[in-house]
Amino acid sequence: MNRRDFLADSTAVMAATAAGAAGAADAGSAGAPSLHSKGAQQMTRNRVTRDNAVLLLVDHQVGLYTGIRDIDILTLKHNIVGLTKAMLALKVPVVVTTTSEAMWGPLIPELADALRGVKTIERTTVNAWDEKRVADAVKATGRKQLIVTGVSTDVCLAFPAIAALADGFESYAVVDASGGFTQTQVDMGILRMQQAGVVPVGYSNVCVEILADNAAPEATAVYSALGMPFSGLVFGLRQYWGRG
């Protein structure tokens, strides 16, 4: 077969395939909901709210932070502190755990300052969910949407996020408020979580999802905590135009 015949035959095959796919889509659209409506229904069922969410912070410790290589340390500190402050403003329960502080050191001071009054559960287990006090503290909140962040991403975040699924939780992994020791380890950890059913999220979008309404009384505190430059500009303009 020469090149012209090959191209002609290939074009015919693609056209027939496209026509068949279009016909199948038209036939299915009459009786089945659209992908858009399915997505909207799914998000409504699984939406994270201030009434069903709980935040679990795992191993944000000074020693472990020295090994982080996939994200700038200042960016990570900004994100984890912003996430924590926003959740506290939304009155979402926060559970904090560290591992073997004699080995890995205390919480980073920026996070410890944001968590004044919140008890830290020190443990020795690698998987935070294997520590009964941690799992019981989360379960005691009565909430089933578990937002998890940890250092490292592939262990301290991934292990409890995956383990909690078996206990009936829906787990959300805050990837940009976590850190790993190599990019490969982080990538493999995220892939493993996704395959298990954990939902990856960002530090700001999960907070904004919970906020839900920019007219809510907590909106200013949430956006201030998240520290997004453009949101600061927006709220500055709002204050300006709101002057008597």
3-state SS record for 113-162? HHCCCCCEEEECCCCHHHCHHHHHHHHCCCCCEEEEEEECHHHHHHHHHH
pLDDT tops 80 at residue 14: no
Q: What is the pLDDT of residues 190-216, one digit of tens each?
A: 999 999 999 999 999 999 999 999 999
The question of whether 207 is a catalytic residue gets the answer no
Q: How many domains does the chain have?
A: 1
Q: Look at residue 241 in the predicted model and tell me its pLDDT.
A: 73
Does the bond joining 152 to the residue before it have cis omega, within 30 degrees of 0?
Answer: yes
Angle at Cα 68 formed by Cα 73 and Cα 135, nearest 5°? 100
Residue 154: inside a domain? yes
Q: What is the pLDDT of residues 95-141, one digit of tens each?
A: 999 999 999 999 999 999 999 999 999 999 999 999 999 999 999 99
- Total residue count of the chain as it appears in this document: 244
Q: Look at residue 229 in the predicted model and tell me its pLDDT.
A: 65
CATH label of the domain that carries residue 154? 3.40.50.850
Per-residue CA distances from 193 to 87, 187, 226 (Å): 23, 10, 25
Percent of the chain whose predicted confidence (pLDDT) is above 70: 76
Task: For 201, list phi and psi in degrees, rounded to 5.
Answer: -140, 170
Residue 22: inside a domain? no
Q: Look at residue 46 in the predicted model and tell me its pLDDT.
A: 79
Residue 128: inside a domain? yes
Range 140-145 average pLDDT:
98
| Sign of the alpha-carbon torsion through 225, 228, 231, 232 | positive
Rounded to two decimals, the pTM is 0.79
Residue 169: inside a domain? yes
Q: What is the pLDDT of residues 19-56, one digit of tens each?
A: 444 444 444 444 454 544 454 445 556 799 999 999 99
User: What is the domain range of residue 54?
Assistant: 48-209
Residue 16: inside a domain? no
Range 155-184 average pLDDT:
98
**Candidates 64, 156, 157, 190; catalytic one:** 156
Residue 230: inside a domain? no
Beta bridge partners of 149: 57
